[in-house]
Structure 1
């Protein structure tokens, strides 16, 4: 995927959110001309800009590359330090009707990443209770 395709995807998502380039620029701390250049594929988009734009547009940066977000909106996020404990807690949650996933959470430079379990109660589980 090239800069042009990524820029078009950013533009489409921005327009779906009914945001102007000016407003997106304000939300990301970048210039309006930079946003225009990104959307038109004129300028290569730095990772930091992609992350800022994704945050402002309330989407995952993977959507800019054509990957659809999984819309997994967890109701709980548990930081559990050992793999064994994460597996045990995940098993309990699944048995009780939750969908779970493990994510790796990056931290600021120099600090270790950590793992979390995210959990979401499925609608079908609510109906059966």
Structure 2
């Protein structure tokens, strides 16, 4: 027995109208994302140029080869946990969306600084 129900036609190619509708609908999201990506790309380019110019220091102080990747990873871990705590505090209402210092915000900033200081000292000891 055959099924007589109508089937939807599956679009296999993206039409120009659908693409322009998508761009129109998501224009602000694309613009904000591209701005953030451009800022990150410029920052990475500047950091790469600076590290490229530091080859003499890297040959003189080989411990920097241990410190630099660790410092980059440490920075990402500390500030991602800071962002996580900050966003949680924003969502549960402990910190206001306006940029006003509060007790919770001060504690989180202080904790990030302490983590950075302690782990930087640890990286310095490991690099020696």
TM-score, normalised relative to structure 2 = 0.22
Higher relative contact order (CA 8 A, sep 6+): 2
> Which has the larger share of strand?
1
| Larger Rg, first or second structure (1 or 2) | 2
> Which has the larger share of helix?
2
TM-score, normalised relative to structure 1 = 0.22
